[in-house]
Amino acid sequence: MAFKVGLLGLGTVGTGTAEILLHPAQRHPLLQEIEIHRVGVRSLDKPRRVQFPAEMITTDLESIVTDPAVDIVVEVMGGLEPARSLMLTAIQHGKHVVTANKAAIARYGDEIFTAANAAGVYVLLEAAVAGGIPVIEPLKQSLCSNRIQALTGIVNGTTNYILSRMQTEGSDFDAVLADAQRLGYAESDPTADVDGLDAADKIAILASLAFGGRIKLPEVYCEGIRKISAADITYAERLGFVIKLLATAKRDSEELDSDLLQVRVHPTLVPKTHPLASVNGVYNAILIEGDPVGQVMFFGPGAGSGPTASAVVADILNIAAILKVGRAATDANGTPILDPLLSCSHQDYCPIAPIEALVTRFYVRFLAKDSAGVIGYLGTCFGKHEVSLESVVQIGMRDDLAEIVVITHDVREGNFRQALTEIQTFDAIVSIPSVLRVL
């Protein structure tokens, strides 16, 4: 019995997927029972690394997702539409879906999983978060006996590459971004990566699986790395930190009856001794803390043709394995009952705490007139808003202005912001070039 795949997209990930499926030797034996039936692309004329007979390749993707012969639709075309509609049509036609599309899942996951559960088909998405790193299925299966407390990740390779190079070279953001684009590490439109939106999609998906509820993407706090300067990287280094774009999802309270979560993406000062501090370049890593397992860290290539295809094909194999042993049961309507460890069945939304309620340490850099009383004023103003300071250092002079770096103790973000608003009105404070959270 052969399982037939309809491949939507033959770009970076689609080509890697096809290469594994076409070369099954020395991989899992079940791969020999999986065949690519049809391939959908935008342009028939493009030169391709993998060749298919003309009758197999089409620009009519609708015809693939409705083809009665196709068992599993593999969506690796990206974008929101027509990817969303094609996945929904595939589900309505009883096809299982494997996707790498975090943008579509983070936005339309509710609709797609509701449709899949009603139709009794699987939608698997291992490749959607952190490319080649197995983290989705471990969260759903291997770690499912744990009460997950926190999940902290470097889940965007482009920004990690840029920050790592800024760190080692002392260069500014714009120069490294331009070079990363020239070398093909950053896209020509880098918005989704550098503004943290790609990481927000990924942490919304991970949070949903870790905490068993749906996540409203607009409630995920998101800040990118455009404002990080070489100066901040240098000062952070002197203080014993590296700057990383962290995606975090954690329980807001230790109370067992509290479901409130923090879900956020922002650049963060990470102590050099922290396991995530040494994850550099395009690599991704996700640190999961659970009870009783403790800390588990997943590390590896978060993108690329082969690594991402490795995750896509693992999902295809999971589905093929279940199809091969046959369905265990159907419900009263005849709908197949899905393996609960592979499917995604939660319905409720997780409540998410506003960023103002976050309790964290801050790093803040001021440029001020070098006059008497400035540091005293900062201390008084922070104190008035219950912001306790860990250190205040006047680093030196920049552009004839005194450069002052403050690290706070754990404070409520709302109080900290109120203090900053008041501090900004002080004549001697010329600018506040950076405000960063500290892990």
Shortest distance, position 178 Cβ to ligand NAP, whole Å: 21
Partner that binds at residue 11, options ligand HSE, ligand NAP, none, CB closer than 5 to 8 Å by kind: ligand NAP
Question: Distance of CA 251 to CAs 205, 238, 296, 320, Å?
Answer: 15, 31, 17, 35
Find all residues with CB under 8 Å of 297, minimum gap 6, and list them.
275, 276, 285, 286, 287, 288
Q: How far apart are CA 223 and CA 146, in angstroms?
A: 30
The verdict on 133 binding ligand HSE (CB under 6 A) reads no
Shortest distance, position 321 Cβ to ligand NAP, whole Å: 23
Residue 350, token pair as written in the block: 């997780």
Shortest distance, position 79 Cβ to ligand HSE, whole Å: 13
Shortest distance, position 40 Cβ to ligand HSE, whole Å: 21
Minimum CB distance to ligand HSE smaller for 3 or for 283: 283
Q: Give the CA count within 13 Å in the CB-facing half-sphere of 96.
A: 23
Q: How far apart are CA 420 and CA 401, in angstroms?
A: 19
Q: From the candidates 102, 140, 202, 250, give the one annotated as an active-site residue.
A: 202
Q: Which residue stretch of 60-68, 70-78, 113-121, 153-161 sits at the interface with ligand HSE (rule: CB under 6 A)?
A: 153-161
Minimum CB distance to ligand NAP smaller for 267 or for 302: 302
The verdict on 82 binding ligand NAP (CB under 6 A) reads yes
Classify residue 347 by burial, with Cβ atoms within 10 Å: 0-12, 13-18, 19+.
exposed
CB 229 within 8 A of CB 173: yes
Partner that binds at residue 156, options ligand NAP, ligand HSE, none, CB closer than 5 to 8 Å by kind: ligand HSE
Separation of first and last alpha carbons in the chain? 52
Contacts with ligand NAP by CB under 6 A: the residue count is 26
Helix (H/G/I), strand (E/B), else coil: 219: helix
Q: Taking Cα atoms as reference points, which of 357, 313, 419 lies closest to residue 31?
A: 313
Find all residues with CB under 8 Å of 90, minimum gap 6, and list them.
6, 65, 70, 73, 75, 97
Partner that binds at residue 158, options ligand HSE, ligand NAP, none, CB closer than 5 to 8 Å by kind: ligand HSE
Shortest distance, position 61 Cβ to ligand NAP, whole Å: 5
The verdict on 14 binding ligand NAP (CB under 6 A) reads yes
Partner that binds at residue 127, options ligand HSE, ligand NAP, none, CB closer than 5 to 8 Å by kind: ligand NAP
Cis amide leading into 82 (omega within 30): yes
Find all residues with CB under 8 Å of 245, minimum gap 6, and list them.
154, 156, 159, 160, 163, 196, 199, 224, 225, 265, 266, 267, 268
The verdict on 156 binding ligand HSE (CB under 6 A) reads yes
Query: Which of 46, 255, 329, 425 touches ligand NAP (CB under 6 A)?
Result: 46
Minimum CB distance to ligand NAP smaller for 180 or for 236: 180
Query: Which of 40, 157, 267, 307 touches ligand HSE (CB under 6 A)?
Result: 157
Q: Which residue stretch of 103-111, 117-125, 154-162, 225-233 sits at the interface with ligand HSE (rule: CB under 6 A)?
A: 154-162
Site for ligand HSE in 18-57 (CB under 6 A): none
Query: Which of 302, 368, 407, 434 touches ligand HSE (CB under 6 A)?
Result: 302
Q: Binding mask 267-306 vs ligand NAP (x if CB under 6 A, - otherwise)? A: ------------------------------------xx--
The verdict on 198 binding ligand HSE (CB under 6 A) reads yes
* Residue located via tokens 């279940």: 322
Q: Taking Cα atoms as reference points, which of 128, 139, 112 lies closest to residue 199?
A: 128
Q: Which residue stretch of 11-19, 247-255, 275-283, 335-343 sits at the interface with ligand NAP (rule: CB under 6 A)?
A: 11-19
Residue 411, token pair as written in the block: 């404070």
- Verify whether residue 202 is a known catalytic residue: yes
Binding site for ligand HSE (CB under 6 A): 131, 156-158, 193, 198, 302-303
Residues known to be catalytic:
202
